[in-house]
């Protein structure tokens, strides 16, 4: 079961990365191919419209 979950997660992240490279945004340059959103409500709306899962990434910036 864990192997299936890992595989599904990898596929979902790969799909998001592929789609993100096609979009233009005003977000700062990110490391890698994933364009992280900065607005939860907008991301939730987009995920519902595309019937796609969301991955939340919390990053604490010191200072």
Per-residue pLDDT, 24: 60
Measured distance CA(35)–CA(28) in Å, rounded: 9
Per-residue pLDDT, 61: 75
Residue 18 structure tokens:
């592929």
Confidence (pTM):
0.43
Per-residue pLDDT, 32: 73
User: Is-contact 35 25, C-beta < 8 A?
Assistant: yes
- 10-residue block means of pLDDT along the chain (63 residues)? 74 68 60 79 94 86 70
């Amino acid at each position: 079961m864990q192997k299936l979950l890992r595989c599904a997660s990898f596929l979902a992240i790969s799909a998001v990365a592929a789609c993100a490279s096609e979009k233009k945004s005003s977000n700062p340059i990110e490391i890698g191919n994933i364009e992280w959103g900065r607005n939860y409500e907008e991301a939730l709306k987009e995920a519902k419209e595309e019937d796609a899962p969301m991955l939340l990434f919390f990053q604490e910036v010191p200072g």
